[in-house]
Amino acid sequence: MSWWRHAFAVEDSRPLEPTPRQRQIADHLCREICRRRMQTPAHLFLESVRPMNYLGAQVLHFFEPFIALITDAEGYREFALFLEHRGAIDFLSRRLEEIEAAGDPACRDDRVVDDTHGGADGTSKHGS
């Protein structure tokens, strides 16, 4: 009955140390989130799905044959393996915060604001 002792075993809560490829994929994902200014919704999503990250990884494995037709199958598989670890959500959340705090160019707001049509009060900078 020694197998019974391991039936409900859960990974210990050590911080996750991803492989270099997994780190590269996670960094790319976090920079894309930052570039699109979606940090807050991403944090909310990550915290909401934290209890189901392993299940989510299994869903990614299920869809792999279809996703492989349109994207990098190896990177997708590596990301799914990364999500199987309990610390993956913490790592992604921490990495998002680090990229944002470091002032990464992906997080800066370099958009040009066109104010030629005037402000809310109907005035224009050009005096017309």
The CA angle 53-82-40, to the nearest 5 degrees, is 55
Is 19 in contact with 81 (CB distance < 8 Å)?
no
Tell me the per-residue pLDDT of 60-70, one tens digit each, with 9 for 90 and over.
Answer: 999 999 998 99
Per-residue pLDDT for 21 more than 80? yes
Q: Please report the pLDDT score of residue 69 as a whole number.
A: 92
Higher-confidence residue of 120 and 86: namely: 86
Q: Please report the pLDDT score of residue 15 as a whole number.
A: 75
Q: Please report the pLDDT score of residue 111 as a whole number.
A: 55
What's the pTM value of the predicted model, to 2 decimals? Answer: 0.72
Tell me the per-residue pLDDT of 67-85, one tens digit each, with 9 for 90 and over.
Answer: 989 988 999 999 999 999 9
Q: Which of the residue ranges 42-51, 55-64, 105-114 would you say has the lowest mean pLDDT?
A: 105-114
**Whole-number Cα distances in Å, 2 to 5, 6, 7, 11, 20:** 6, 7, 9, 18, 36
17/46 Cα distance (integer angstroms): 18
Q: Please report the pLDDT score of residue 72 as a whole number.
A: 87
30/19 Cα distance (integer angstroms): 16
Q: Please report the pLDDT score of residue 105 as a whole number.
A: 78
82/17 Cα distance (integer angstroms): 10
